């Protein structure tokens, strides 16, 4: 299969999905090969499958969903948006697939960026330099999918990456909380977008609510990420 894609054009859904799936399936296989050469291990990257990781995963997921719930509740109260109550009935039909996708995407991205990449950078740089670099790479790679809508999110995505690094520190250098937090954010936003649960009133600038309806491209989303980071910092 050949994907006809030009850098100056956004990926179409029929291009994006096969590319996304192939890349996300390939990443852990590459890491497995690196581990087989004795150059590292999943434990080094913070992925240790035991009972505690499931508790951390659940904690992170809950924290991610709760943060967005608070942000949107505040926006409802301020009159910046309203809930499309008639679309709530759509949630049960999309709940399972979105949950699986959120866990899959969150897990792979945390393994790659807060796991492998951060660990490798730490060998040559101070931890916060490694965190800044890995978070910047994480943010910029999102431009692969959609340049116009993603560009305003780059600062927010970088901040999200930094907070996910803090989440790894808060979890004794394991990826459980970071994985859950990432998955919780993906799950909540994907559910809202897919079911079209939120309609913005246009009373305030998009830079407050999120340009192109993307929370990370607005002050509200950035404050959500900052607040989450502040909570996690107490456990570092």
Specify if 53 maps to a domain.
no
Specify if 129 maps to a domain.
yes
- Number of domains making up the chain: 1
Distance (Å, rounded) from C-alpha 39 to C-alpha 175? 19
Specify if 20 maps to a domain.
no
Average pLDDT rounded to a whole number, residues 20-34: 85
Specify if 45 maps to a domain.
no
Q: Which domain holds residue 199?
A: 95-235
Helices (H), the chain: 13-36, 51-78, 91-109, 118-122, 127-141, 147-150, 154-170, 176-195, 206-209, 219-233
Above 60 in pLDDT, residue 163?
yes
Above 70 in pLDDT, residue 5?
no
Above 70 in pLDDT, residue 169?
yes
Specify if 156 maps to a domain.
yes
Average pLDDT rounded to a whole number, residues 13-25: 70
pLDDT score at 21: 75
Specify if 176 maps to a domain.
yes
Tell me the average pLDDT of the chain: 91
Specify if 207 maps to a domain.
yes
Q: Which of 20-29, 56-65, 146-155 has the highest mean pLDDT?
A: 56-65
Residues above pLDDT 90, as percent of the chain: 78
Specify if 187 maps to a domain.
yes
Residue with tokens 């904690």, as numbered in its chain = 59
Beta-bridge mates of residue 83: 198
Above 70 in pLDDT, residue 6?
no
Q: What is the value of pTM for the model shown?
A: 0.91
């Amino acid at each position: 299969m050949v994907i006809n894609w030009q850098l100056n054009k956004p990926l179409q859904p029929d291009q994006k999905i096969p590319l996304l799936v192939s890349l996300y399936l390939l990443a852990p296989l590459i890491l497995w090969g690196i581990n087989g050469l004795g150059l590292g291990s999943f434990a080094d990257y913070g992925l240790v499958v035991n009972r505690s990781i499931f508790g951390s995963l659940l904690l992170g997921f809950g924290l991610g969903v709760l943060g967005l719930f608070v942000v949107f509740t505040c926006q409802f109260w301020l009159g910046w948006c309203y809930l499309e109550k008639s679309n709530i009935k759509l949630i049960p039909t999309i709940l399972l697939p979105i949950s699986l996708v959120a866990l899959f995407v969150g897990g792979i991205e945390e393994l790659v960026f807060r796991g492998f990449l951060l660990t490798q950078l730490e060998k040559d740089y101070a931890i916060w330099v490694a965190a800044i670099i890995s978070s910047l790479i994480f943010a910029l790679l999102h431009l692969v999918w959609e340049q116009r809508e993603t560009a305003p999110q780059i600062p927010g995505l970088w901040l999200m990456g930094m907070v996910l690094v803090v989440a790894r520190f808060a979890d004794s250098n394991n990826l459980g909380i970071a994985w859950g937090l990432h998955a919780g954010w993906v799950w909540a936003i994907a559910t809202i977008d897919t079911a079209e649960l939120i309609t913005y009133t246009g009373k305030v600038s998009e830079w407050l609510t999120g340009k192109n309806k993307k929370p990370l491209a607005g002050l509200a989303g950035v404050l959500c990420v900052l607040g989450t980071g502040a909570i996690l910092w107490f456990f570092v």
